Every structure is written in C-alpha cells, then in structure tokens.
Amino acid sequence: MNTADHILYLLKTRGAQTAQQLAERLDLTSMGARRQLEAAQERGLVGFEDVADKVGRPSRRWRLTDAGHARFPDRHADLTLQMITQVRALFGEEGMDKLIAAREAESEAAYRRVVDEAVAGRADLGPHLQTRVEALVGARDAEGYMAEAELQPDGSVLLIENHCPICAAATSCQNFCRSELRVFQSVLGEDCEVERAEHLLSGGRRCVYRIRAVR
C-alpha cells in the first residue's frame, strides 16, 4: 500500500485526523503528510474542518469525502440493487424476506464454524470471549467489512466494522442488516450480551457492536 492509499485507509478506519496524527502513524514529517492530504484534496478524495480546541488555535481535521469513501467499494452494488428490484417485482416483500432469511442462515452457519474452530481444544480459555470475537472479526474482515476487535477497560470487546461492502443493498433494503445482532449473539454464545453501539445506516461513521460477558 503506497502512502497516499495508506492515508485514505487511516481516514476510513480511524475517522477524522490531523496531519500531525497521520504523520506520526506513517512516520512522515507534518509537511509530508500535509502535501499528501492536499494532493488527495485536489482529487476530491478528502476535505477538512477546522475544529476549535480548548487551548490554542483551531486544529484542521481531515476526513474522507463521498468520493473518498467510494474508493472502498460496495460489492457489486449495481447488480445487487437490480436483483433486489427484480425479486420484489416477482415475489413481493415475502420473497425478499425468504431470500434474506436464507442468507442469514448461511452466514450464521459459516461464522459458527469459524468460532468453534478457534476455541476447539482450548478449555483453559473458558472459551475466552475475546477469542470468539476475534474469530468472528476475522470472518467479517475477509468479507470486506474492514473489521477489528478492540478490548475495553471494562472487559467488554468492541467488534468494529469500518466499511460496509453491501451498503447499497442494505440502504435499499434495511432488512439485510436487521438480524446481525441476533446472528452475532447466537454465534458468540449465551454467556455474553451483544448490543449495537453505532450504526452506519443511522448516521454513524461505522458499525460498532459492544460485547460483554454475562455473569
């Protein structure tokens, strides 16, 4: 990944950043980071907002534009939207519900295999909640969700998805993501609780799920 693409990746996965923050992450000078950002701005990929800090002058926070987000593509968006339209026309909402239910069942079975393999033979883990979440994160990341796990001070684990590779489909038919909580809960087990903390389709920058052990 070259420097220009790495900057776009960091803005996608970390949200708005200053040139100094990006420089530190990429081992660049502040000037070098600003030059990369200005070049990306000329291409319409990034914009900025000057944010007033408590002390000193405002800091410039760089963020992706819609064109920048589009560099991380929605999988086969046009074809998917056409198929949604055709299924609705031919089979109505009932047909869409059956299609989505079948997709959910297939995803749940695949995730369960991955999680079970991750904890197999590891009774010492309990099996450990973080291990299960990281296995699920790996499966989601492989599907293009740019997923990561983040352990919190209170012992909970965040499942973070920085990108939605089926965003166009989910926007057209929000039932595509209606049951993710149920699927994640089922796969991770009854000894934990899963709640959605951020949702892309509700105006969030990303989708985030907080997972905590139930005592």
pLDDT tens digits along 130-182: 899 999 999 999 888 899 999 999 989 999 999 887 775 556 556 677 778 88
Go through the chain and tell me how many residues it has. 215
Confidence of residue 14 (pLDDT cuts 50, 70, 90): confident
Distance, in Å, from the CA atom of 108 to the CA atom of 187, rounded to the nearest integer, reads 7
Whether pLDDT at 52 is above 80: no
- 114 falls in which pLDDT band (50, 70, 90)? very high
- Pick the last residue of a domain from 43, 69, 95: 69
Query: Would the pLDDT of 92 be above 60?
Result: yes
- What is the C-alpha separation between 135 and 116, in angstroms, rounded? 9
Whether residues 86 and 9 fall in one domain: no
Per-residue pLDDT, 127? 54
Cβ atoms of 157 and 148 within 8 Å: the answer is no
**What's the pTM value of the predicted model, to 2 decimals?**
0.68
Residues 96, 163 within the same domain: yes
Let me know whether 81 and 65 are in one domain. no
Q: What is the side-by-side strand order in the sheet with 192-198?
A: 147-151, 157-161, 207-213, 192-198
**Residue 58, pLDDT above cutoff 70:** yes
Give the C-alpha separation, 8 to 4, whole Å: 7
In the prediction, which pLDDT does 74 show? 64
CATH of the domain at 104: 3.30.1380
Percent of the chain with pLDDT over 70: 85
My answer on whether 143 and 101 are in the same domain is yes
From 40, 69, 98, give the residue that closes a domain: 69
Token pair for 61: 């926070």
Range of the structural domain that residue 47 is part of? 3-69
Residue of higher predicted confidence among 107 and 85? 107
- Given 21, 50, 69, the domain boundary residue is 69
Q: Same domain for 194 and 155? A: yes
CATH for 11:
1.10.10.10
Q: Are residues 41 and 96 in the same domain?
A: no
- For residue 160, the SS3 value is strand
103 and 191 part of one domain: yes
Confidence band for 33, pLDDT divided at 50, 70 and 90: very high
- Count of domains in the chain? 2
* 119 and 201, same domain (yes or no): yes
91 with 62, same domain: the answer is no
> In terms of domains, do 58 and 91 share one?
no
pLDDT on residue 75: 59
Residues 33 and 114 occupy one common structural domain: no
End-to-end Cα separation, the chain, in angstroms? 43
When mean pLDDT is compared across 51-55, 105-109, 182-186, the lowest value belongs to 51-55
Residues 65 and 81 in one domain: no
